[in-house]
Every structure is written in C-alpha cells, then in structure tokens.
Amino acid sequence: MPVDAQWRWHATGERPVFELRRHLPLPGWHMLEVAMAHDRCNVAMRMHLEFGGCNEPEDVILLPLKHGRITKQLFFVRPGLKALYLAPMEAGGYFTFLHFRIAWLTPRFAHDRLARRLARLHETWRGMPQREVLSELKQQARRQKIPWCSLALDRYRETFVWMTPLDGYSHWLKRRHELGADSVRRIVEKLPCAPTISVLVPVFDPVVTWLRECLESVLTQSYPHWQLCVADDASTNPEVHKLLEEFAERDSRVVVVYRPRNGHICAATNSALAVAQGEFIALLDHDDRLPHNALFHVAEALHRHPEACVLYSDEDKIDEHGVRFDPHFKPDWNPDLLLAQNYISHLGVYRASLVKRIGGFREGFEGSQDHDLLLRATVNLSPTQVVHIPHVLYHWRAACGSTALGSDQKSYSAEAGLAAVNDHLLRHTPGARAEPGRYPNTYRVHWPLPDSLPLVSLLVPTRDRIEILRPCVDAILERTEYANLELLILDNQSECAETLAFMRDVESRDSRVRVLRWEHAFNYSAINNFGARHARGEILGLVNNDIEPIDEGWLGEMVSQVCRPEIGCVGAKLYYPNDTIQHAGVILGIGGVAGHSHKYLPREAPGYFSRLHLAQGMSAVTAACLLVRREVFERVGGLNEAELPVAFNDVDFCLRVRGAGFRNLWTPYAELYHNESLSRGRDDDKAKKVRAASEVAYMRRTWTDQLVNDPAYNPNLTLEFEDFSLR
C-alpha cells in the first residue's frame, strides 16, 4: 500500500507482492536491476514468473539487496509467461524504489556476465578463466543430458544464496550434512591418538527435563572416549539427585560428586574438575546440549592440531521447545575481541593440565567465570595453540532468566566480566583499563599513550578538488586533540588556482602542515611511499583527502593502539555522509577479493554480535584512515607501487604486515566521515577497467589461501554480501 512522508510504500502481511499481467518481459535473457531504500537490516526481493499450463513450473528469482545500491541479476524467460509477481520484502516494512528496471540482453552479453560471476564467486569455478568456465559447464550439461544454459543459471543463482542468521537459520540447517555413525566410527578407529575428554557439568536445581536432555547429549556422543563429571552443588530438588543416580548407574563413565553445601558455579566446576581423568576438559552447563558429533569434531581437530591447548566452536541457542536459532559463527583466535567480549564461550575445551596449573576456576568471578578462565589460560599461548572449530557444537538453552535469552538478565555477569578483564590488564599491561561497553557483557579497553607522545605524520594525497580538501584539512587541524602531529599534503599535479592558493595559505599559517609535490601520474602506492620517505614521524598515518574526523579523540585512540608492540596496522570506523557504515574492517574474499564489514548499515547498528562497537583484530583495514609504526611500514617495504597502483594496496600491505608477525586492528572509537573515492572517480573507462582487472588478478594470485578463509570472519558466512548473512 502506498504511503507518504519518508517512505513511498508500506509492505504488510507475511509476503506482500506486486502483480503484473501486462507488458511482461519477452522470451530470452534479461537483467533485473533494483535499488531500494528500506527500514530493515537485510532485504531480499523475490520475483516469481508464472507460465501457462498446469504442469509448467514457475520460476523464482531471489535478489538480496544492498542498502541504497543497485543490485543486478540475470534471469531467463521461457515462452508462455503469463504473470510476474514481485515481493519486494520477505515480510512487512517500509521501502522506496530508487531504481527498478528489467533490461533485455543479447545471449552473448548474458553468457559473458554469467561466466564472469561464476569465475569470481562460485566455489567450483572461482579464479578460473571465463572461457574455461563455459567449457566446463557445457561438458557437465552433456554428461547430465540437460541444456547447458539451465545448468549455468542454476549455478549462477547459487551465488545469490541469502539467509540471515536469525530468519534463515532453519533453512540453512536443512542443507547441512553431518557424518553418519559408521563414518565417524571408521575415522575414530584410524586416529593415532584418541584422547579422553572429561565433560564438566556443575548442577544446581535445573529444570529436570532439561538436565536429562543435557546428560543424554553426552551419553549419545558418537565419539566414545569421554568422561562425564557432574558436581551437584547441593540441589534442593530431590528429583535432581534421583536423575543423577540413574545416569551414574547407566554408564560407568559418569562420575557424580555431591557437594554438602552450595558454593556457586566456580566451586562446583572445580569439584567436577577434581575428578576429571581426561587429557582435556569440556565445559557444559546443566540445561544446555551438545550435538551428537560435538566431541568427535573436537577429537578430529586435536588430530590436526596436536599442539592445541584451548579449543572452541561455533554455537547456537535452543528454546524451550527444542527449536534452534540465533547461531554465532565466530572468528579464529582474536585476543583483542576477547578483551572486548567473551566471544569464545561455548563449546570451550581445555587441556586439563593447563587448567589445573592455573588454579581452575576463581571464586568471585561467577557469571563470567569462563571469560576469566580464558584470559588466564591463553595469556602465554601461541596463536596455533588456540583452535577454532567452525561447526556448531553447542546448543545454549534460551529460557526466561537465562543469559542466553538476554545478557541483561544477569547484570552480575557483566560486572564479573569487567572485573576479569581489568584483572588481566592489571597483571599484564599496567596503565590499561577497561570500562563497560555500549552493550551488556561488552567492554572498551583504554590503552595508555607513551609518556613522550610520538610524532604522527598524516599523509594526505590530493589533486585539485578544493571543495573536499579544505574540509578535510580544516577538520583534522581543528578536531584533533592529539597534539604531536604533522600533516603532509601530497599534491599530485594540482592545477586549480584556488586549491593551490589554499595549500600555500594553510602551509604558511600552521607549522604542522607541509606541502610536497608529486609530479607523476596518479599512483596511490607510490605517492604514499614518497610521503613516508619525507615524513618525520615515528608513526605514519595514511589518510584520504575526503576524510573528516567526527570527534577530537580519534587520533589519540588510534595512536594508543598502534603503539602496542604486537599491533601492526590500525583502522578507524568510517561513515558515509548519510551516517551509514563505509568501513568497519576489511573481510577477505567478499566479492572475490575483499569487502568492508557491515557496509551500509546504519551508524548506530550493533552489527553482528555487537562487533560494530568492539575493538577487534581484522586481517586488513582500509588505507583511507590507517596508522602504522614507521618501523613496521619499512620492514614490509611500504605499499606495492608496481602491481597495485590504485586498488587493494592497503589489503596487500596489511597482509604483508600480518605475515611479518603483527596483528592488525580495527577500533570503533575513532570515528570519521569518508566520501569514498570522491576525488578519484570511478573505474569506468577502458584503461581503468584493464588496470582494475590486473589488480584483482594480482590479489587472487598472490593471496589465494587468505582470500578463501579469513581468520577474522567465518567459513559459514557469506562472501557475497557485507552483512554477515549465512553462506
């Protein structure tokens, strides 16, 4: 139904549609082009093509949309089209069409676009030359005795699979295939080492039905080498005692300890730990469940990573009716994210000797005892000793009053978590302190600045465009609290008289500003390397000429992070002028090479499990606003001038920094506006397209393995969109 004011349309009901029976697309290839503004976090449009005849199947096109950007998808119309139904949203909401077009295509053009997308995004043909993609498709179609275009279109549509973590999880689960019992048994028999895993379950007055489900989930594990250590913390319900006795009699691997008085979860878990005999321990709450193959996946991971001391998995929640929802697909080991949030949590598996050596669970940290244990257990471990298993191996019970249903249900857990983080900082980083984050059970760490503030050299390449350069320079000089900085304007053959006059003026009136001339063709990498050679600072800042700081503390925050010896590059949180996210860290593999996390989400959006408001490790950050110590910059040889003159030079640089042993970091506490590529323009002429294709080819050739599985992301999440939807 039409509406006025901000939105043009209001969709109501479960699947509202537009119906079209006249002026329908003709038979042949077409391109659907759509751009929409809407009030939802994620939107996917569905277009149904209805053909004549009762036995004619309808065709369904699914088009996930990006906020305010044109999205395109090929489709083919068979003869006999009778009606077209367009569902702009999966459910109710407000929206406005910014662009809508169905364009007829020549077969040659359609085939080229189809092959190009498969070579860029499909897991089977990714990186393959387009001609080889078409040849392989035709061979497969001949073997299957079907038209090759039908097969190609099916594979093409697979690259548009879109399921949000909340709304599409049940459908996503139906596509998963778990190993059967016979396969698991054969694999376990071949393992050269099959460690015993002791599952620790502290118990205090749970819902008896849920406790039974919890214990059954251990007894029915496909991996046989386990021990179940239950510590009853003086439960008052006699049915709990009866149930525990039942399970102890059913299986000799079940050990039950009855505590004489209630000591809370840390004391109870330590009682279970005391009777654990396995080489590893796994933590399980008394109302949660393990999937059938949970411990098998742990054993298989230990086979591949025998040095592992801490292992963790992805997880989801389970409601009172047994329905699974809200999966958390986690990154690999990310120590900065762990300080900001206990993202590891379940399923947590530890080498038993390590846990006993550090004293087990500490009383006084109840509610965040797992977070405290993780911080103490991982402090001296190498990254290879903390292993992430990218499978959902834990079902967290979400019931009234539980932390799973809402972390605000237990405020004491947030207080205990803050105490655990501050205790860790006090022990290992004097001067650092944590405070509550924006969301429950999240934290912001303030890192200390050096007593003598290092000089920061901000490098700003530019050419003409006074209308963006002036606001950028003025904002940096006026809205930067950090005092010890120099601003180097790297002028790339400006001809505009007003721009030249502005540069002369600002250089003369502010001693922090220098203007350096770069009299060569535009090469972003070369210009910044030139600026770095002339910079005086211990810290280099790569800054686009269309950047404007929002708050005065932005540079101090970034400097406090980059001065940490283990940190390489530090990136900022950047917004488009309309207050949507432009950059929140770079995710490798999105769009074929790399994309920006959470792009186009509203400024205040929490992001995936609050990550838009948490400092965290990222594989790469954008050079639109990037800080790095000079020593690190020079160690890896600066930016790549030869192969990456314009695009992806920042991603390549960050990956080389990471390869040199440093962690790259993104902080949400340095906020700036960014008019992306406003001064450079778009890659829309032939020469620019050739250059862009060359840069893409270099990245895929050089960083093949890294582009497949970003450790700061998760292999179960999409490589097509920036919204953390399911792959």
- Average pLDDT of the segment spanning 414-423: 94
Residue 404 clears pLDDT 90, i.e. is over it: no
In a domain, 80, yes or no: yes
Domain contains 289:
yes
In the prediction, which pLDDT does 60 show?
A: 79
Question: What is the per-residue pLDDT for 117?
Answer: 87
> What is the total count of domains within the chain?
3
Query: Would 468 be classed as within a structural domain?
Result: yes
Look at residue 174 and tell me if it is in a domain: no
| 27-55 pLDDT, tens digit each | 999 999 999 888 766 677 888 898 876 55
CATH number at residue 148: 2.60.120
- CB-based contact 617:506 (threshold 8 Å): no
Q: Are residues 187 and 123 in the same domain?
A: no
If phi > 0 it is left, if psi is from -120 to 50 it is alpha, else beta; for residue 32 that is beta
Distance (Å, whole) CA 689 – CA 674:
24
User: Which positions ≥6 away from 160 have C-beta within 8 Å?
Assistant: 62, 63, 64, 73, 720
- pLDDT over 90 percentage in the chain: 68
- 397 and 503, same domain (yes or no): no
pLDDT tens digits, one per residue of 319-344:
888 888 889 999 999 999 999 999 99
| Residue 218: Cβ-neighbour burial (10 angstroms; 0-12, 13-18, 19+) | buried
Strands (DSSP E) found in 294-427: 310-318, 324-328, 348-351, 386-397
Domain-embedded: residue 443:
no
Q: Are residues 152 and 189 in the same domain?
A: no
126 and 192 fall within a common domain: no
Which of 124, 158, 192 corresponds to the end of one domain? 158
Q: Are residues 295 and 370 in the same domain?
A: yes
647-664 pLDDT per residue, tens? 999 999 999 999 999 999
pLDDT score at 64: 80
% of the chain at pLDDT higher than 70? 93
**What's residue 1's pLDDT?**
47
Look at residues 503, 479, 480 and name the one whose alpha carbon lies nearest to residue 490. Answer: 503
Give residue 613's pLDDT.
Answer: 97
Q: Which residue would you say has higher pLDDT here, 407 or 718?
A: 718
CATH code where residue 271 lies = 3.90.550.10
- Name residues whose C-beta falls within 8 Å of residue 672's C-beta, 6 or more positions apart in sequence: 547, 548, 549, 550, 554, 572, 573, 574, 575, 625
CA distance 542 to 564: 18
What's the pLDDT score for residue 496?
95
How high does pLDDT run on average in the chain?
90
Higher-pLDDT residue of 301 and 116 is 301
Q: How confident is the model at residue 684 (pLDDT cuts 50, 70, 90)?
A: low
Cα 42 from Cα 164, distance rounded (Å):
7
**Which range is least confidently modeled, 5-14, 471-480, 669-678?**
5-14
Do residues 256 and 200 touch, judged by C-beta distance below 8 A?
no
Q: Are residues 363 and 494 in the same domain?
A: no
What pLDDT, on the 0 to 100 scale, is given for residue 55?
53
pLDDT tens for each residue of 506-562: 999 999 999 999 999 999 999 999 999 999 999 999 999 999 999 999 999 999 999
Give the type of residue at 517.
R
Q: Which residues contact 719 (CB under 8 A, 6 or more apart)?
A: 121, 589, 590, 591, 727
State which of 403-412, 584-593, 686-695 shows the largest mean pLDDT.
584-593
Is 579's pLDDT higher than 90?
A: no
pLDDT tens digit sequence for 285-295: 999 999 999 99
Both 390 and 508 in one domain: the answer is: no
| Chain centroid to CA 209 | 36
One domain, residues 101 and 230: no
Last residue of a domain, one of 375, 410, 445: 410
Whether 126 is covered by a domain: the verdict is yes
State the pLDDT confidence band at 165, using cuts at 50, 70 and 90: very low
* Residue 680 pLDDT: 44
Quick one: 134 and 231 in the same domain? Answer: no
257 in the same domain as 328 = yes
Q: How much is the average pLDDT of 301-305?
A: 96
Residues 215, 143 share a domain: no
**Tokens 């502290």 sit at which residue?**
202
Torsion of CA 54, 57, 58, 61, to 10 degrees: 180
What would the mean pLDDT of 680-705 be, rounded to a whole number? 80
What does the pLDDT average to over 294-310? 97
The pLDDT value recorded for residue 679 is 43
* Contact present, 454 and 537 (Cβ < 8 Å): yes
Domain residues for the domain of 98 are: 9-158
pLDDT the model gives residue 91: 65
Eight-class DSSP state of 41 = S
> Is 457 in contact with 556 (CB distance < 8 Å)?
no
Residue 46 lies in a domain: yes
Q: In this predicted model, which residue has the larger pLDDT, 544 or 67?
A: 544
Is 695 domain-assigned? yes
Q: Which residue has the tokens 């070579």?
A: 119
Q: Which tens digit of pLDDT belongs to each residue from 220-259?
A: 999 999 999 999 999 999 999 999 999 999 999 999 999 9
How far is the C-alpha of 66 from the C-alpha of 690, rounded, in Å?
Answer: 26
| In the predicted structure, residue 604 carries a pLDDT above the cut 50 | yes
Per residue in 669-682, pLDDT (tens digit) is 999 999 864 444 45
Q: What angle do CA 661, 666, 667 make, to 5 degrees?
A: 135
Residues 110 and 227 in one domain: no
- C-alpha distances out from residue 92 to 11, 44, 95, 402, Å: 5, 12, 10, 30
Report the candidate in 647, 573, 636 with the shortest Cα–Cα distance to residue 604.
573
Which pLDDT score, from 0 to 100, does residue 409 have? 47
pLDDT at 92 over 80: no
Tell me which DSSP letter residue 27 carries: S
User: Region 402-431: what's the mean pLDDT?
Assistant: 80
